[in-house]
Chain A
Amino acid sequence: MSDASKALVIAEHDNAGIRPATFNVVTAASQLGGSVDVLVAGSASGGAATAAAAISGVAKVIHADGDLFAHGLAENVAAQVLSLAPGYSHILFAATASGKNIAPRVAAKLDVGQISDIIKIDSPDTFERPIYAGSAIATVQSLDAIKVITVRTTGFDPAPASGGSAAIESLTPVANAGMSTFVGSEIARNDRPELTFAKIIVSGGRALGSSEKFNELLTPLADKLGAALGASRAAVDAGYAPNDWQVGQTGKIVAPQLYIAIGISGAIQHLAGMKDSKVIVAINKDAEAPIFSVADFGLEQDLFTAVPELVAAL
């Protein structure tokens, strides 16, 4: 590929360290063939900048630190990215809640189209991305000089977190846009792996019948496997699981080593979020459930007997 590309990756981080999605985006950026710089815009984010500099394949870390970046507000982060944009041919974000929030703001200000959710790079201006809940793959060519991209992390392997020794360049932050303020957050803290990056996911559907049963049956299984918990839209709609557990077209896109779908029928919108998993197990008493059409191992059995049996057998 062209050696002329200059890529800027917008890091996702918690100020102390880099969040995993960034590693996959660095891999995507490296595939463009040219240099890869990383922007860390944060508040008291020295730890994140140091961690970014250690990622294998990163040429330079640009570090902008200030209160205005404390909560990743789109208006402020976009403004900082725009201050750097003229020096780059590609600006890449992870297709996460944060990346999806900020990237289009950057693209519109640059008067360029955005290429969302890429899963493959064919050339520095041509990308593949799923459309219609993954029912089709579009190959699209960008006609713009600067390509603003969000990267579906499941499409690219993570770059090694160590081995790099990029220089860290400090940058004076842009002025606070003052358009929005952070009021508060409710982020669930638990010891489980993050859904998007878990090696094993135990996911439940409406057939679990209640939030009590959902927890009672799936938690011991997830604990035994060290798995993250996920859910179908139907289970979330019914209030069995929190919103951010939803796997599917408009929820989380996951591709673990092992995905165990329990009492999930397998609507196309759900399959869109998990069908790239390495191994899929489906437990469902309905022999006709579409989930069996993508499952490597299907167990046609009542989940209320099968799941406790499975926990006991592990």
Chain B
Amino acid sequence: MKVLVPVKRVVDYNVKVRVKSDGSGVDIANVKMSMNPFDEIAIEEGVRLREKGVATEVIAVSCGVVQCQETLRTAMAIGADRAILVETTEELQPLAVAKLLKALVDKEQPGLVILGKQAIDDDCNQTGQMLAALANLPQATFASKIEVADGFANVTREVDGGLETLRVKLPAVVTADLRLNEPRYVTLPNIMKAKKKQMDVLKPADLGVDIKSHLKTLKVSEPPKRGAGIKVPDVATLVAKLKNEAKVI
């Protein structure tokens, strides 16, 4: 069984992004870029499935600019066997990415597609579910555990209030939540090995996919600032303030 794992190149989670003064977006020139943390978890899960003998091959995919090759090399250093870049400089929204992935699912016929549940830049939380819809596959989102056997996956999901387990018939789409696993550290020998692994580069047109935008960003602005309040010297003052000033207790 092949496992397909899409990965996104995003602004590193430690970077505090700044809104551009003309309101056209956030300034990502010269900031550190990394693999979306949830996608790293997805890759790790795919590699673990191969190490357990459940999967035969893990294919990492990224859609976007040429620099996404770095992200794919990282995925292969974690352990993905090969990579596909769908290269474009156009803005890609989740629906467009889902369509590109659908075309690759048709081509590669994976038994499982594992994606991060959400990208930490646009915070959309859409692509996995959209891919499942377009490919007409079952979905199990926000996974904290995946067990594959006999053509099915039992997936434990993080839902409001706790956990639930679904059984989905393969092929299926699963999205990874934070606690599915802890991705391994990438070692230097594995980085070197990753450089020799196969990477195919395609264009959206090669897949016959229309990547037009469905949403237009009119403006990006700073959120309202919340000012710091005051420091209180002791618990008694805190309780008095909450009771008499803020009136919240």
B48 at the interface (CB under 8 A from A): no
Task: Give Cα distance in the complex from A184 to B155, angstroms.
Answer: 11
- Using a Cβ–Cβ cut-off of 8 Å, how many residues does chain A contribute to the interface with B? 88
Q: Are B162 and A74 in contact (CB under 8 A)?
A: no
With A105-B130, A108-B95, A187-B162 already in contact, the answer to whether A141 and B215 are too (CB < 8 A) is yes
Q: Is the CB of B126 within 8 A of A184?
A: no
Determine whether A66 belongs to the interface, using a CB cutoff of 8 Å to chain B.
Answer: no
Inter-chain contacts of A268 with B (CB < 8 A): 16
Assuming the contacts A98-B159, A279-B248, A297-B229, asked whether A144 and B214 have C-beta atoms less than 8 A apart, the reply is yes
B120 touches A185 (CB 8 A): no
Q: Within 8 Å of chain B (Cβ to Cβ): is A179? A: yes
Check B178 for interface membership: any CB of A closer than 8 A. Answer: yes
Main secondary structure on B side of the interface with A: mixed
Q: Which A residues are CB-close (under 8 A) to B166?
A: 73, 180-183
Residue among B98, B131, B218, B223 facing the most chain A CB atoms (10 A cut-off): B223
> Judging by beta carbons under 8 Å apart, are B223 and A257 in contact?
no
Against B, the Cβ 8 Å flags (1 = close, 0 = not) of A127-153 are: 000111111111111111000000000
Taking CB atoms, residues of chain B closer than 8 Å to A16 are none
Q: Residue on B with the closest CB to A141?
A: B216
Compute how far the CA of A97 lies from the CA of B201 in the bound complex, rounded to whole angstroms.
35
- Establish whether residues B142 and A133, one from each chain, have CB atoms under 8 Å apart when the complex forms: no
In this assembly, does A292 line the interface, its C-beta being within 8 Å of a C-beta of chain B? yes
**Overall SS of chain A's interface:** mixed
B56 on the interface (CB 8 Å rule)? Answer: no
Establish whether residues A310 and B223, one from each chain, have CB atoms under 8 Å apart when the complex forms: no
Q: Does B163 contact A (CB under 8 A)?
A: yes
CB-nearest residue of chain B relative to A256? Answer: B248
- CB of B139 within 8 A of CB of A105, answer yes
In this complex, the member of A78, A250, A275 whose beta carbon has the largest number of chain B beta carbons within 10 angstroms is: A250
| Contact of B231 with A105 in the complex, beta carbons under 8 Å | no
B192 contacts partner chain A, Cβ-Cβ < 8 Å: no
CB of A313 within 8 Å of the partner chain: yes
B105 within 8 A of A: no
Beta-carbon contact of A142 and B214 below 8 Å = yes
Q: Tell me if A112 and B214 are in contact (CB < 8 A).
A: yes
Which 5 interchain pairs have the tightest Cβ spacing? A113-B214, A104-B129, A296-B229, A179-B138, A108-B130
List the interface of chain A (C-beta within 8 A of B). 71, 73-75, 78, 96-98, 100-109, 111-117, 126, 130-144, 179-188, 194, 196, 200, 225, 233, 236-237, 242-244, 246, 249-250, 257-258, 268-269, 275, 278-281, 292-301, 306, 309-310, 313-314
Question: What is B's interface to A at a CB cutoff of 8 Å?
Answer: 11, 13, 16-17, 19, 26, 38, 93-95, 98, 117-118, 120-134, 137-142, 144, 154, 157-169, 172, 177-179, 213-223, 226, 228-232, 234-236, 238-239, 241-242, 246, 248-249
Pairs across A and B, CB under 8 Å, 26 listed? A96-B160, A97-B159, A101-B141, A102-B129, A108-B98, A113-B213, A130-B123, A131-B26, A132-B11, A132-B120, A135-B17, A135-B26, A136-B222, A140-B217, A140-B218, A141-B216, A141-B217, A143-B213, A180-B169, A183-B164, A186-B164, A188-B161, A243-B179, A244-B159, A296-B230, A310-B235
